[in-house]
């Protein structure tokens, strides 16, 4: 890059870094506040609290990076135009592609960043987070319960015991599991003891009963027992041994699903959509940059307002994200819609590139099909600007 291109790259990269840091920080703080119960209610240390909240950062960066890039390109092009620098560059014979080059380099960096996060870092962080939360919930039972108090381990799970005997066994135990409103389960026991085996914690209940209430049946199902073992890890896994969701599995696992995995067979649509989303997510930074460049890439005088162009670009960006979520939802329902996961970002990128190409190459050097497409999009943009103005 020459001096001018480095100047544009530095401006855009600085705006991107500030935008990414600010947006990620604000959302991370809001999510961290919701997790304060780890410290206040579940007796965990500040270190555990930071580990849990920081594990959500890869997912935040993956979502925010294309938005921050979009905002950075808009800011850079608008500032260059407001300072009349784009006009001077155009008058000096500098081709618009020279302006696009440093922005393209920045976009390439963001594409690799998002690709690494979505394919490798994010699933690993979600898997680690699930393991930590499961362990924390088990620790609440094993370390932080107080006799005589009803303690909520997780949403829908209540644990209580009357007192501890001199031997350390709990007396008068009640465990109520209402996570599934259609099937509520209550465990009663005269006494119980928490033991560990192969890294997992179990509570061994003695002389008690299990009460199950189905929403469709007014009568309780009661099963008495002399000895009953409950795996405390189930409190972090929807009532069963930990079963990792699609987003918590590595990309390799999604590519090589075990035929004997019942959960994967039942949720085949979600697994399919998650896999293709991971490969399509790196396309969104490219679409974001092209939308911004198509809106503000051309040099205009300061008297020509750019507010409507920015508004149309923002609407296009929102439509891009909504289209992406919609395509993923459709792909989860039927494999027929799977190509839409790629068509949405690629299609938007092509349309934005067609408009940008026309502004860079000039009408006379633009292929006929691009001119017709661009004219149609210009008409659509004009109607959008009129709507925004109203």
SS (H, E, C) the chain: CCHHHHHHHHHHHHHHHHHHHHHHHHHHHHHHHHCCHHHHCCCCCHHHHHHHHHCCHHHHHHHHHHHHHHHHHHHHHHHHHHCCHHHHHHHCCCCHHHHHHHHHHHHHHHHHHHHHHHHHHHHHHHHHHHHHHHHHHHHHHHHCCCCCCCEEEECCEEEEEEEECCCCCEEEEEEEECCCCCEEEEEEEEEEEEEEECCEEEEEEEEEEEEEEECCCCCEEEEEEEEEEEEHHHHHCCCCCCCCCHHHCCHHHHHCCCCCCHHHHHCHHHHHHHHHHHHHCCHHHHHHHHHHHHHHCCCCCCCCCCHHHHHHHHHHHHHHHHHHHHHHHHHHHCHHHCCHHHHHHHHHHHHHHHHHHHHHHCHHHCCHHHHHHHHHHHHHHHHHHHHHHC
**What's the average model confidence in pLDDT over 307-335?**
90
Question: Which residue, among 264, 352, 276, 362, has the nearest Cα to 313 in the 3D structure?
Answer: 352
Crossing angle of the two packed helices 57-82 and 283-296, in degrees rounded to 10: 20
Report pLDDT digits (tens) over 349-370: 998 888 877 766 554 444 555 5
**What's the average model confidence in pLDDT over 58-78?**
93
Its pTM stands at 0.73
Report pLDDT digits (tens) over 211-225: 888 877 777 788 898
Q: Look at residue 366 in the predicted model and tell me its pLDDT.
A: 47
- What rounded mean pLDDT belongs to the chain? 81
In angstroms and rounded to an integer, the radius of gyration of the C-alpha atoms of the chain is: 28
Q: Look at residue 119 in the predicted model and tell me its pLDDT.
A: 93
Q: Look at residue 36 in the predicted model and tell me its pLDDT.
A: 62
Question: Which residue, among 376, 142, 100, has the nearest Cα to 368 in the 3D structure?
Answer: 376
Crossing angle of the two packed helices 283-296 and 96-116, in degrees rounded to 10: 160
Range from 219-233, 261-275, 315-329 carrying the lowest mean pLDDT: 219-233
Res. 305 pLDDT band, cuts 50 70 90: low
Q: Look at residue 116 in the predicted model and tell me its pLDDT.
A: 95
Q: Look at residue 368 in the predicted model and tell me its pLDDT.
A: 57
Res. 241 pLDDT band, cuts 50 70 90: low
Judge whether residue 227 has pLDDT over 70.
yes
Res. 237 pLDDT band, cuts 50 70 90: very low
| Tokens at 320, concatenated | 């891009």
Q: Which is higher by pLDDT, 149 or 93? A: 149
CA dist list (Å): 268 to 264, 322, 334: 6, 23, 10
| Tokens at 170, concatenated | 């709990």
The rounded distance, in Å, linking the Cα atoms of 254 and 272 is 8
The rounded distance, in Å, linking the Cα atoms of 156 and 159 is 10
The rounded distance, in Å, linking the Cα atoms of 193 and 306 is 70
**What's the average model confidence in pLDDT over 177-187?**
83
Q: Which is higher by pLDDT, 182 or 251? A: 251
Range from 36-50, 261-275, 278-292, 341-355 carrying the lowest mean pLDDT: 36-50
Judge whether residue 238 has pLDDT over 50.
no
CA atoms within 13 A on the CB side of 100: 21
Report pLDDT digits (tens) over 5-47: 899 999 999 999 999 999 998 888 887 776 665 555 555 667 7
Report pLDDT digits (tens) over 111-137: 999 999 999 999 999 988 887 776 766
Range from 153-157, 160-164, 170-174 carrying the lowest mean pLDDT: 153-157
Question: Measured in Å, how far apart are the chain's first and last C-alpha atoms?
Answer: 43
The rounded distance, in Å, linking the Cα atoms of 57 and 26 is 11
Strand order across the 170-177 sheet: 151-154, 157-164, 170-177, 183-197, 200-214, 220-231
Question: Which residue, among 357, 354, 356, 277, has the nearest Cα to 321 in the 3D structure?
Answer: 277
Q: Look at residue 83 in the predicted model and tell me its pLDDT.
A: 79
Res. 387 pLDDT band, cuts 50 70 90: low
Judge whether residue 273 has pLDDT over 90.
yes
Q: Look at residue 235 in the predicted model and tell me its pLDDT.
A: 58
Beta bridge partners of 225: 208
In Å, the largest CA–CA distance within the chain is: 92
């Amino acid at each position: 890059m020459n001096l001018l291109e480095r100047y544009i790259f530095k401006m855009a990269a600085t705006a991107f870094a500030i935008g990414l840091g600010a947006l990620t920080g604000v959302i991370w703080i809001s999510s961290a506040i919701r997790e304060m119960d780890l410290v206040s209610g579940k007796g965990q240390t500040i270190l555990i609290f930071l580990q849990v909240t920081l594990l959500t950062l890869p997912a935040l960066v993956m979502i925010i990076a294309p938005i921050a890039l979009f905002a950075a390109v808009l800011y850079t092009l608008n500032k260059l135009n407001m300072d009349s620098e784009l006009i001077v560059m155009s008058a000096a014979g500098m081709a618009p592609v020279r302006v696009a080059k440093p922005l393209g380099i920045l976009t390439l960096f963001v594409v690799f960043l998002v690709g690494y996060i979505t394919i490798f870092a994010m699933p690993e962080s979600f898997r680690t987070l699930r393991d930590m939360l499961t362990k924390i919930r088990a620790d609440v039972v094993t370390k932080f319960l107080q006799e005589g108090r009803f303690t909520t381990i997780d949403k829908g799970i209540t644990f209580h015991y009357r007192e501890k005997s001199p031997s350390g066994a709990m007396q008068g135990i009640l465990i109520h599991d209402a996570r599934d409103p259609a099937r509520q389960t209550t465990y009663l026991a005269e006494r119980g003891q928490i033991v560990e085996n192969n890294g997992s914690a179990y509570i061994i209940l003695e002389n008690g009963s299990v009460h199950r209430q189905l929403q469709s049946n007014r009568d309780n199902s009661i099963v008495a027992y002399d000895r009953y073992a409950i795996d405390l890890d189930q409190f972090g896994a929807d009532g069963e041994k930990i079963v990792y969701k699609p987003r918590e599995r590595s990309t390799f696992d999604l590519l090589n699903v075990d035929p004997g995995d019942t959960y994967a067979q039942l949720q085949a649509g979600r697994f399919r959509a998650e896999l293709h989303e991971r490969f399509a997510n790196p396309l969104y930074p490219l679409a974001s940059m092209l939308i911004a460049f198509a809106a503000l890439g051309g040099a205009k005088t300061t008297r020509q307002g750019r507010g409507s162009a920015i508004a149309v670009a923002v609407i296009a960006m929102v439509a891009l994200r909504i289209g992406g979520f919609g395509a993923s939802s459709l792909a989860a329902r039927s494999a027929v819609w799977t190509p839409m996961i790629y068509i949405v970002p690629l299609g938007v990128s092509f349309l934005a590139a067609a408009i940008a190409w026309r502004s860079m190459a000039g009408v006379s050097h633009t292929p006929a099909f691009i001119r017709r497409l661009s004219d149609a999009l210009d008409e659509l943009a004009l109607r959008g600007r009129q709507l925004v103005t109203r």
